[in-house]
Amino acid sequence: MWKTIIRRVLMMIPQLLALSLLIFIMAKFMPGDPFTGLVTPDTDPARVEELRQQAGFYDPWYQQYATWMMNAVQGDFGKSYTYKVAVADLIGDRALNTLWLSLVSVFLLYLIAIPLGVLAGRYQNTFLDKTVVLYSFISYAIPVFVLALIFLFLFGYKLQWFPTSGTVDIKYDNGSLGYIWSKTYHLLLPAITYAILGTTGVIQYLRTEVIDAKSQDYVRTARSKGIPLNKVYSRHIFRNSLLPIAAFLGFTITGLLGGSIFIETIFGYPGMGQLFIQSISGRDYSVITALVMLYGFLILLGSLLSDIIMSIVDPRIRID
């Protein structure tokens, strides 16, 4: 398996190179540049042109790409024109916030989806099953920004159960118990929103697997031996039904890391998604290209991680 993992990792290199070239060219075709916002009636146009010259904006695109790529290989993604800090440091701070948000969202997602999916499959065509299916259809149909705005207004502004922006209260010292609780408290509402929207796929997959497993020969054999129904579900049906869910775990985590744009923007949560929107608005090319490269890497990593998890859960499966 280790040889396969190494081969898959090496295959990521040309894929990321192709992605970097595509994104770099597309970013250069965007109208305006980071210095466009500096132009005011009081601005000296010569000074703006000087800044563009210093940044290399008039160099051939392939020369700009080669320079950027050589620096990126060394971990230097340039400097943010908007925030005036190194891109790696800027993304590092935001990535940690998005990572915690994604992990809590995944935990809540499975905490909600697994019991509902198992119950819906076990009690097929009952009122409980129809209620769960209706819930999954509604959660699938509601756009992410609509549910986020509803939760923000209801639980944030109306009931004031949760904070409406930020990641932590400034009154707490870093590392204290109050600081940790405040960090958790600030991400609960966006995490709950994200989890509810992500339960649909897990519920449907798990429900289908449970229904299919009930008709398998090993289940009938277990029942014929007099094994109680609850033990049949816990030892056989539930374990086998979780295989496809485990396979999608890697995609789920990386999908949440890369798909938090709406959630973070609406809830004012300073993560990678919010940074991506702000960078596009500010024509901050260095941040845009670095973020897209990171998202692409996470997608490839999620595919590999899902295969590894699947092979661990079911030893009969070997990754290629």
Average pLDDT, the chain: 77
| Sign, CA torsion 216/218/224/229 | negative
pTM value is 0.74
Pick from 242, 218, 219, 234: nearest CA to 313: 242
Q: What percent of the chain has pLDDT over 90?
A: 1
pLDDT tens per residue across span 86-108: 888 888 878 888 888 888 888 88
pLDDT tens digit sequence for 167-218:
777 777 776 777 788 888 888 888 888 888 878 878 888 888 778 777 776 6
Tokens representing 212 are 């299919």
Strand partners, 86: 79
**Count of CB atoms within 10 A of residue 202's CB?**
22
Least confident of 109-123, 255-269, 305-319: 305-319
Sign (positive or negative) of CA dihedral 256, 260, 102, 302: positive
- The pLDDT assigned to 253 comes to 67
**Residue 212: which of 232, 237, 233, 236 has the closest Cα?**
237
- Better-scored residue on pLDDT, 217 or 272: 272
Would you state the pLDDT for residue 87? Answer: 84
Structure tokens at 200: 């649909």
What local confidence, expressed as pLDDT, does residue 36 receive? 61
What span, in angstroms and rounded, lies between the C-alpha atoms of 313 and 135? 29
247 versus 79: the higher-pLDDT residue is 79
CA distance 304 to 311: 11
pLDDT of residue 320: 55
Q: Which two tokens stand for residue 181?
A: 């609780």
